[in-house]
Amino acid sequence: MKRIYKYTLNPSNLTIPMPIGAKLISMHRQKGEMCIWAEVDIEEKTELVTFEIFTTGEEITSDNKEFVGTFLLHNESLVFHIYKMT
């Protein structure tokens, strides 16, 4: 059974349990938090999904990443680019 779930990214813990095969569909700031929405099959087992955050101009340290999206925080003065580890 598929549903859309919301996950909050916390910069101090970027590993989130998600159902296997979760499809990331959107990301935005909500109430000051970085949130990701994913289409998930709630009957699947979960796996740990790890994300990394980079600022503009920061070196991206490996190729094993998939770009997810960009967040603007603190009146758009902070820009964070989110990647999912693959």
pLDDT in tens, 36-50: 999 999 999 999 999
**Annotated domain spans of the chain:** 2-85
**The whole model's pTM is what?**
0.88
The one-character DSSP state at 45 is P
pLDDT band at 26 (very low <50, low <70, confident <90, very high): very high
pLDDT band at 62 (very low <50, low <70, confident <90, very high): confident
> What six digits make up the tokens of 51?
């994300």
pLDDT at 74 over 80: no
d(CA 33, CA 16): 15
* pLDDT score at 37: 97
pLDDT band at 75 (very low <50, low <70, confident <90, very high): confident
Q: In sequence order, what are the residues at sequence separation of 6 or more whose Cβ sits closer than 8 angstroms to the Cβ of residue 68? A: 24, 27, 36, 51, 82, 83, 84
